[in-house]
């Protein structure tokens, strides 16, 4: 059965951030993800995880100046020192939170950018991240994101429909980057929502990604939401019950992050998750 993690920037935002850990546990989640945990002390986040019997399964590297439209540093020439500092910070948080997966977020393409320079910078930075994380038991993962949409107008910070002008936009591009770097600690993180918007062929792509069991490029993390809308994975263009059965049959043993915007309340929208032991009162 797939293992689902609550994304604490999208779900349970009826509560202050630190109270979302308890809310997720009460609903039956055993894991959470938070792309940007750095606004809170790592020790406090670790305490919330332990108190609620939760595992932190994914965080992101620092994203740069969010308010100026930055969405990561890995592919930005001239920002290497800042990127390396972000890797050090990610290691500190991942170690404190016992999180074994960090998304090394690529960034957006500036106007007039030299794409070849961006590619060289990206590959060098990925190699650095994969090597730096390895002694700590942390996997570096990269995620293609649709470049056509932006922030959620009525959402909280770090909730988006996409990242306009994002550098890494397809599974094939991500796989090519992993192959070019060739480091055994660099892997894939796929979001089915973004896959549907940019490339489709979901089951074929997942089959191919899950066929790799060893070495670089393994699929380490998945995320889900509906298309259109980025809401609960219970309708729209994507047949999620089929995909959940498929990844089960293919032996995916990573976490599936619930990175979606509830249409109403978080608990009210968890009907889709009842067959998987998640929903109001599930923890009891």
Active-site option among 33, 70, 232, 259: 259
Please give the full DSSP string across 115-169, using - where no structure is assigned: HHHHHHHHHHHHHHHHHHHGGGT-EEEE----SS--B-TTSPTT-BS--TTBS--
H or E element, residue 56: strand 55-60
Q: Tell me whether residue 88 is exposed, middle or buried, using C-beta atoms within 10 angstroms of its C-beta: 0 to 12, 13 to 18, 19 or more.
A: exposed
Are 39 and 45 in contact by the 8 Å Cβ rule? The answer is no
Is 70 labeled as catalytic in the residue annotation?
no
**Catalytic, out of 33, 70, 143, 232:** 143
* Number of C-beta neighbours around residue 172 at 10 A: 12
How many whole angstroms separate alpha carbon 161 and alpha carbon 174?
A: 20
Is the distance from CB of 144 to CB of 253 less than 8 angstroms?
no
3-state secondary structure (DSSP) of residue 259: coil
- Let me know if 33 is a catalytic residue: no
Where in the sequence numbering do the catalytic residues fall?
Answer: 143, 259
């Amino acid at each position: 059965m797939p293992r689902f993690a609550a994304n604490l920037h999208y779900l349970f935002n009826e509560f202050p951030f630190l109270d979302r850990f308890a809310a997720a546990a009460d609903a039956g989640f055993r894991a959470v993800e938070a792309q940007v945990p750095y606004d809170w002390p790592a020790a406090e986040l670790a305490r919330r995880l332990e108190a609620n019997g939760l595992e932190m399964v994914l965080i992101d590297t620092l994203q740069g100046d969010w308010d100026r439209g930055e969405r990561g540093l890995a592919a930005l020439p001239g920002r290497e020192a800042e990127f390396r500092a972000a890797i050090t910070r990610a290691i500190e948080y991942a170690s404190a939170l016992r999180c074994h997966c960090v998304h090394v977020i690529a960034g957006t393409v500036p106007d007039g950018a030299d794409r070849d320079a961006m590619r060289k910078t990206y590959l060098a930075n990925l190699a650095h991240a994969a090597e730096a994380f390895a002694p700590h038991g942390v996997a570096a993962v990269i995620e293609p994101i649709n470049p056509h949409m932006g922030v959620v107008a009525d959402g909280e910070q770090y909730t988006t429909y996409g990242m306009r002008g994002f550098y890494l936009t397809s599974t094939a591009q991500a796989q090519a980057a992993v192959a070019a770097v060739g480091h055994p600690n660099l892997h894939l993180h796929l979001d089915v929502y973004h896959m549907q918007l940019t490339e489709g062929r979901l089951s074929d792509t997942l089959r191919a990604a899950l066929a790799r069991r060893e070495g670089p490029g393994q699929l380490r993390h998945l995320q889900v939401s509906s298309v259109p809308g980025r809401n609960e994975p219970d309708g729209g263009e994507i047949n999620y019950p089929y995909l959940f059965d498929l990844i089960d049959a293919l032996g995916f043993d990573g976490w599936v992050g619930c990175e979606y915007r509830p249409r109403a309340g978080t608990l009210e929208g968890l009907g889709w998750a009842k067959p998987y032991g998640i929903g109001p009162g599930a923890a009891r």
